[in-house]
Every structure is written in structure tokens, then in C-alpha cells.
Amino acid sequence: MHKEYLTVSNIVGPLVIVEKIADVKYNELVEIEDSRGRLRRGTVLEVSTDQAVVQVFEGTVGLDIDKSRVRFLGRSQQLPVSEEIIGRVFDGSGRPRDNGPQIIARKRLDINGSPINPDARDYPSEFIQTGISSIDGMNPLVRGQKLPIFSGSGLPHPRIAAQIARQAKVLGKEEKFAVVFAAMGITFEEANFFIEDFRNTGALERAVLFLNLANEPAIERIATPRLALTCAEYLAFELDMHVLVILVDMTFYAEALREISAARKEIPGRRGYPGYLYTDLATMYERAGRIKGKKGSITMIPILTMPEDDKTHPIPDLTGYITEGQVILSRELHRKGIYPPIDVLPSLSRLKDKGIGAGKTREDHADVLNQLFACYARGKEARELALILGEAALSDLDRLYLKFADLFETEFVRQGEFEARTIEQTIELGWKLMRQLPKKELKRIRPEYLEKYYSPA
């Protein structure tokens, strides 16, 4: 039996301060029973000889000072796991929300995990074909990568994420795979969109969902992605599955973190977010990867909405410094009616170099990718120039580039929501566009490939 304390002295925002404690540990799980017997959970954020600061996941509404009973559980927050976890839906603190039974634990795992030893990491090098040209062709995703989608409110990031989850596959292989989906603070409609999509494609049987919706306790969001990642680690490194983790929306997660930080009266960093936001995000994002000698992998697609579409806002900024690239959505393309509105130029996949080329995608992939980038960038510059000076002022060559940029957006980037292009089709499409330009403009392509692919077969 755990000791019960009736010594709550202070309640501030999501924090409860308990006095006269003994033998309490940092980061320990806490149970609080309010005067009506309702249970809430929390963790210890700070502990000294006579007092503990506890963050309460479900919020502090209805808690009182004199009747709340506090129990320290002597362990940190854990997730019970077993094979049965696949196909289940949980709430943001890991309780079943699909009317199913509790998971009979084969193991209980600490949701904070431990860092992967850098020496144990295997470098991600298996190309994942998502069927989306602007990702496969320009910013390829590989197994074990963490590639976030930087979106804005009103942009179709859920549709893109669902399309990736639906179409993603590694060429020439049939392996066990699973989707782990964590929702933090998104609306019922958005969450339902994913669930329905998973259900329609049969993915739900291979998925584990952790849902904390917009109307549910904000502080619980701190735990939600950690639960999802703990589950993913179990599936990947103990059950040898290839796991795709989708986290939406990291912005709400960071806001919950800020709320706690403010309640603790910590010195804020940029825009009120705590100074340790980078470290905190890293402890989650870095849980993606591959481990030498293990079959499974964790590939992560965190989604965040950039406040005011601002890439330099702390949340996208710090995320970009941790993740291996980013896919940025563009409001301008979206307004033009282009789906998926992926802004190719500022998007980036850092791990592409080892995942593409002969034997993986196609020998000329890297060169085509670089050339398409350079041409599209030049075309966009020409477009800006044409806006100022009029199209007539452009040189003939610039006009060609301008046309290239238009075609690139309408033919290469644009595609159907259920259209899965093979990498072969994507690269050929790239060549088709590049043939609009004179051969000697294609400086980024090795002469032998230019010889082989420039003239249509």
C-alpha cells in the first residue's frame, strides 16, 4: 500500500504542491483522488526534502486543498504492452477508449525510454516509396528517418499524411509493418478522418492509436507522444516490425509544455517556450531510427502547424534542427488548387543520399533531383522578375525556365490523392520536364546520364 498524503498546500494551473512528503523520487507517477473519489494522474516535476511539485495530466479543475489525497506510486509512468496492442485505440494517457479490455501486459515499459546508443544505430538507407512525386523524387524518405510536415492551419496535411500511410512501401519487399498514430489536441473531425481512412484501407488492423482530442486535458498531451513511441519501440525492436509513427500536432504538444513551464514560473526562452524545448523535443524525435542487427525500424512523420506560417517560430525551428529534413506545405500552391501543395524548394530530406541511386531507385536519381531543384529555383526567380518587369523583359532562356516552373508545379507536384506513382514514373516525369530546356543548361547531370536519358526513348 502506498502512503496517502493530505498535505496539498498549493494548486497553480496544472501543478499541485504537496508538503511533508517522504521518500518521493523525481519523475515518479502520482495518483490524486479528489473529494468525490475521482482519480487523476500526474508526475513529479521537482522534489525537495519536504515538498514535491506534481503536474496533473487531467488538469486541476475541481481539486481542493484540504480533501485531495495524493499517492506516490514509486515508479515512473509505464505502458503495458503485448502483441495484443495492435489494432487498439487508447486515450492520451494510455487507457483503452475502444471499449476493449485492458492490455494484459507481457511487459511494462517506462514511457520515457532510454536514448539509443549512437554506436548501435544503423544508418537509414532503404528508400520508402510514398507514391508522391514531390517527396519520392525531390525529398525521398528512407526507413528510420524522421521527416516532419510543416503545415499551416487550413492546409491539407491530414490528407497527405494519410496518403503516405496508405501508399508507403519499400520496393520489392513484403514485411511486417504497423502504423502508430498519436493525436495531440486535434479536433474530433480530424482524428475521425484518420480513423476512417485507416479503416477503409484495412490499415486499422495494423495500427495503434493514442488519441488526446482538443477537448481533453492539455497536460495529458505531454505523455501521449511518449506512449506512442514506447509502443513503436516495442513493435519495432522486439516484434521486428517496420513502424510508421505519425504525430499530430506537435504545436499543441509544445503549447502544453509551455503551460507547465509558465505555471512553474520558469525563465522563458523565445516566445514564452521553455529553454529546454529543444532537448524535450529531441528526446522524442530521436527515438526514430534503426538499430544494427534488428529487423524492425521506426520512421517518424511528426506534423506541426506553423503559427502564421512562420518557419522561424520556435516549434518548427527547433524541430527542423532535430529532424532529418522537413516537408513544407505552401499556402500559395494550395490557393492555386495544387494538391499536394508541397513547397519543394525549402523542403529537404537529409538522408536521401544513401537511399537513392543505382540498385535503390535509379542511377540518375540524385542528378535529376539536383537539376530539377536548380531549374525550378531559376524558374521561380524568372517568375518574380516577370512580375516586376513583365514577361517581355525576360530573355528567351528565362522564359523557358518560367514555363518549366509552371509545368513543374502543375504536372510534377500536382497529383491525385489516390494516385501512387512509382519512382520510375516520377523520374521519367522529371526528364520529360527537363527536355523543355536546352541540353547544355543541365549542368548538374553527369554527361553519361544526359547521353542516356535526355533524348526520349
217-236 binders of other proteins (CB under 8 A): none
326 within 8 A of 150, measured Cβ to Cβ: yes
| Burial zone of 339 (CB within 10 Å; 0-12 exposed, 13-18 middle, 19+ buried) | middle
Minimum distance between the CB of residue 74 and other proteins, rounded to whole angstroms? 9
Cell of 30: 502520482
Sign of the alpha-carbon dihedral angle for 213, 218, 220, 224: positive
| Residue 392 burial (CB count, 10 A) | 7
For other proteins, which residue of 279, 410, 422, 455 counts as binding (CB under 8 A)? 279
- Where in 97-126 is the site for other proteins (CB under 8 A)? 110, 112-124
For other proteins, which residue of 190, 268, 295, 435 counts as binding (CB under 8 A)? 268
For other proteins, which residue of 320, 340, 341, 379 counts as binding (CB under 8 A)? 320
Distance from C-alpha of 123 to C-alpha of 432, rounded to nearest angstrom: 33
The answer for residues whose C-beta is within 8 angstroms of residue 69's C-beta and 6 or more apart is: 4, 5, 6, 32, 33
Nearer to other proteins, 201 or 395 (CB): 395
Tell me which H or E stretch contains 445. Answer: none
Distance from C-alpha of 204 to C-alpha of 214, rounded to nearest angstrom: 22
Query: Binding of other proteins at residue 45 (CB under 8 A)?
Result: yes
Residues 8-27: x where in contact with other proteins by CB under 8 A, - otherwise, as a string: --------------xxxxxx
For other proteins, which residue of 3, 108, 336, 446 counts as binding (CB under 8 A)? 446
Q: Which stretch binds other proteins (CB under 8 A): 41-49, 56-64, 82-90, 420-428?
A: 41-49
Tell me which residue of 353, 395, 356 sits closest to 378, measured CA to CA. 395
Nearer to other proteins, 166 or 352 (CB): 352
Minimum distance between the CB of residue 276 and other proteins, rounded to whole angstroms? 5
- Residue 298's alpha-carbon distances to 6, 18, 121, 199, in angstroms, are 43, 39, 12, 22
For other proteins, which residue of 17, 71, 283, 386 counts as binding (CB under 8 A)? 283
Nearer to other proteins, 185 or 316 (CB): 316
- Where in 379-418 is the site for other proteins (CB under 8 A)? 385, 388-389, 393, 395
- Where in 122-151 is the site for other proteins (CB under 8 A)? 122-124, 144-145
142 within 8 A of 377, measured Cβ to Cβ: no
Query: Binding of other proteins at residue 46 (CB under 8 A)?
Result: yes
Tell me which residue of 360, 420, 442 sits closest to 162, measured CA to CA. 420
Q: Which residue has the cell 525563465?
A: 267
360 within 8 A of 424, measured Cβ to Cβ: no
For other proteins, which residue of 95, 173, 335, 443 counts as binding (CB under 8 A)? 443
b/e string for 245-275 if b means 16 or more Cβ within 10 A? bbbbbbbbbbbbbbbbbbbbeeeebeeebbe
Dihedrals φ, ψ of 439, to 5°? -55, -40
Nearer to other proteins, 61 or 267 (CB): 267
Query: Binding of other proteins at residue 440 (CB under 8 A)?
Result: yes
Minimum distance between the CB of residue 374 and other proteins, rounded to whole angstroms? 6
- Where in 69-98 is the site for other proteins (CB under 8 A)? 76
Number of residues located near other proteins, criterion CB under 8 A: 83
Minimum distance between the CB of residue 410 and other proteins, rounded to whole angstroms? 21
287 within 8 A of 247, measured Cβ to Cβ: no
Write down how long the chain is.
457
Cell of 434: 527537363
Minimum distance between the CB of residue 345 and other proteins, rounded to whole angstroms? 4
Query: Binding of other proteins at residue 337 (CB under 8 A)?
Result: no
Q: Which stretch binds other proteins (CB under 8 A): 10-18, 200-208, 287-295, 401-409?
A: 287-295
For other proteins, which residue of 189, 332, 353, 391 counts as binding (CB under 8 A)? 353
Nearer to other proteins, 104 or 267 (CB): 267
Sort strands 325-328 and 348-349 into parallel, antiparallel or unpaired.
Answer: antiparallel
Query: Binding of other proteins at residue 287 (CB under 8 A)?
Result: yes
Query: Binding of other proteins at residue 275 (CB under 8 A)?
Result: yes
Query: Binding of other proteins at residue 355 (CB under 8 A)?
Result: no
Query: Binding of other proteins at residue 237 (CB under 8 A)?
Result: yes
338 within 8 A of 283, measured Cβ to Cβ: no
For other proteins, which residue of 1, 36, 37, 48 counts as binding (CB under 8 A)? 48
Distance from C-alpha of 295 to C-alpha of 237, rounded to nearest angstrom: 7
Q: Which stretch binds other proteins (CB under 8 A): 192-200, 243-251, 323-331, 425-433?
A: 323-331
